[in-house]
A = this chain, B = another copy of it.
């Protein structure tokens, strides 16, 4: 019952494989729906699994504040708590401390902050982050890191990246003490959009040695082209035998382009967040169902889908549900979007296995009109 990654096929830089965990296998490239506060928003866990998701993400920041990591542990861990027996990845909490909490103070030790919920004071250190992730019982855990926005001056980016490296070492030591067999800790590559900093970060992380590596500090406002430019000089120097996780990404076109550049894992709130706001992804791009042109449209989002949300309800009905403020609108569109994302990953995996990724990307680009490569 150990954590391992096996590559099954490659097509150019793109990779198709499987991550093995004690709680189940994860086919890669994989998209992880986000279960921020112990639930994938507006989704039953069975339906999340039925879309084809093999793993979901939980947010350490949200869960440490409410209901609390010790509470979740006392209730049998996050898997049992949220009725999701399959693998769970947790982030370190660092990113959301910096974006959501108030009165943050970052030191060598960690980040002290006040809860955005009740103003209570907390300290998140590399050690405490690992302790929390182990209390939650996460199968794949993240080191605490600092995640600066782009643009950032090179000396500041270097300083921040080196702090994250020191935290990587401390995280690994804490994980060795607290974790259970089969759980895995990923190191996080930082360095903003500077090639030499990314290389330095990666080479030091590989010396520390992790079973997987995350690419952090992207999707922070730099734009798709710049993100792809960073990936172009980052993934080629990453260990081919370890899974690569691009954190917080992204739109379908971001994912397609990153898969083509050798990324294996993704997470994003977009399918559920957009779903709650009336936006549906289709093979031809996103549509906004609150738009008046759908008021009389009796066609479903996808008549041939295996997903009931995509197949069994007209666009006119979805339009109505959002106009009427019915829960069922977000429920159906979150489901549809998660299914769309998993279908996309399925298509990417099949295309890589059959070495026809460039055709797949070409068709995706033609149908969506998106810039991918």
Contact = CB atoms under 8 A, between A and B. Distances in A.
A71 interface: yes
A334 B341 CA distance: 28
Top 8 nearest A-B pairs (CB, nearest first) are A42-B327, A37-B324, A39-B328, A67-B320, A39-B326, A83-B312, A75-B298, A75-B316
A323 interface: yes
Nearest to A297: B75
A275 to B, nearest CB: 11
A314 B66 contact: no
Interface of A: 37-39, 41-44, 46, 62, 66-67, 71, 74-76, 81-83, 295-296, 298, 308, 312-314, 316-317, 319-321, 323-324, 326-328, 330-331
Contact of A314 (B44, B75, B314): B75
Contacts of A320: 37-38, 66-67, 81
A62 B67 CA distance: 38
B298 A76 contact: yes
Contacts of A296: 71, 74-75
A37 B326 contact: yes
Nearest to A62: B324
A328 B295 contact: no
A313 B321 CA distance: 27
A37 B328 CA distance: 11
Nearest to A334: B327
A74 B39 CA distance: 38
15 contacts: A38-B320, A39-B321, A39-B328, A41-B326, A42-B327, A42-B328, A42-B331, A44-B328, A46-B308, A66-B323, A67-B320, A71-B296, A74-B296, A327-B331, A331-B331
